[in-house]
Amino acid sequence: MFGIVRPCRHRLGESLTSQWMAHLCGLCLALRKDHGQFARIVTNYDGLLISVLTEAQAGQGGAGAGRRTAGPCPLRGMRTASVAHGEGARLAAAVSLVLASAKVRDHVADGDGMLARRPVALAARRIATGWDAAGARGGGAVGFDTAVLVDAVDRQGGIEALAGPGTPLLAVTEPTETATAAAFAHTAYLAGRPDNAEPLAEAGRLFGRLAHLLDAVEDKEADAASGAWNPLTATGTPLTEARRLADDAVHGVRLALREAEFADGRLVHRLLVHELGNSVDRAFGTVSCAHGHPYAPPGTPGAPQGPGAPPPPEPPRGNRRGLLAGCAVWVGLACTCQLCCGTYHDPWSGERKEGSCTNCDCSGCGDCCSCCDCCSDCCGDDGCGCDGCDCGCSC
């Protein structure tokens, strides 16, 4: 799983966590439906923002958005769930494929890990080419031309080759900005709100800048050790300047979203106003959550759990499985590491339990995520336009 917006469930609250998971599962299932099982490997945290934006503008069941009940999945303890589907999820899937293709090509160019071996690199390039084609088909099905994304990927290499000390860092991030601007803007057309296209394009442009900047910051030391190309090192940009650009981009996204109209903008606000700032803090090494963990879906190894976490709804006590069915579910939980790392539902009784390796201690943390403070900061004096606290916290 890759992406810069990885929210902590303690800050999201139960309601918005449920919505966020609906879009994450919806993206995964849209990839499977349109592009096959293997395509699900490109499911990522940033791609689902496309689905979130579409539904936020149209409302559940509106143009381009909707919900359906998905079948059992091992990562949900073999339980069904309400997931996002429709054109928003399909656009998210198409964009995710093209972005994943770009990421694979980047790793091949850098010779990372196994990709330094020629046979593996050739196979990876073939996979990336297939993802480009699949993304183009998926984008075309919802009226989006992924050529702008592919063009951005193609131009990136040439820009990096010419970059050197003194080259403006924003010249290097431009292709990513252009690609994400186009994807964000298209959600306005899918949702039937064309007037939102311009502000969402601006929000997308700045989001793309952030994605590129934070990736460079997080990889700087590893790239230096391996000799891989890094935009900060190549252009001689200090971390202080990178942080200034990142903070300006976060503020710009906030201002751009104020110009757009949403049927229900709570999750968009939480992710692209609150959590985007937390992503910057995390990349630059400042604390973004007192638990010390980014958000991870239930069952993900290392996911924060404990007494301070909002408990998900317990399954009905009468929903018990037989011996053989329970054993089958147990095998699935074991194979996905949920029995030891994270939270899961007992294969037979359905009771929620904690994995044996869970290590997030929330006891006695009080206002551990500073929920009221973050709401007052965002919704009070800095002019982001909130009408009260709508970010889903319980305070």
**201/179 Cα distance (integer angstroms):** 10
Q: What is the DSSP string of 378-389?
A: IIIIS----SS-
Q: What is the Cα–Cα distance from 152 to 205, expressed in whole angstroms?
A: 13
d(CA 102, CA 121): 14
List pLDDT tens digits, range 204-237.
Answer: 999 999 999 999 999 999 889 888 889 999 999 9
The pTM for the full model equals 0.75
- The answer to whether 210 and 254 are in contact (CB under 8 A) is no
Percentage with pLDDT > 90 across the chain: 44
Rama region for 342: left / alpha / beta (φ>0; ψ in -120 to 50; rest): left
Task: Give the C-alpha separation, 210 to 335, whole Å.
Answer: 35
CB 90 within 8 A of CB 141: yes
Q: Evaluate whether 26 touches 18 at the Cβ level (below 8 Å).
A: no
Task: Determine the Cα–Cα distance for residues 178 and 152; give it in Å rounded to an integer.
Answer: 7
Neighbours of 354 (CB within 10 A): 14
Query: Each residue of 120-149: pLDDT tens digit?
Result: 889 989 988 888 899 999 999 999 999 999
Rounded-to-integer distance, Cα 87 and Cα 392, Å: 26
Instruction: Give the position of tokens 């940009």.
Output: 237
What's the whole-number mean pLDDT along residues 326-345? 62
Contact 92, 65 (CB under 8 A): no
In terms of Cβ atoms closer than 10 Å to its own Cβ (0-12, 13-18, 19+), residue 225 is: exposed
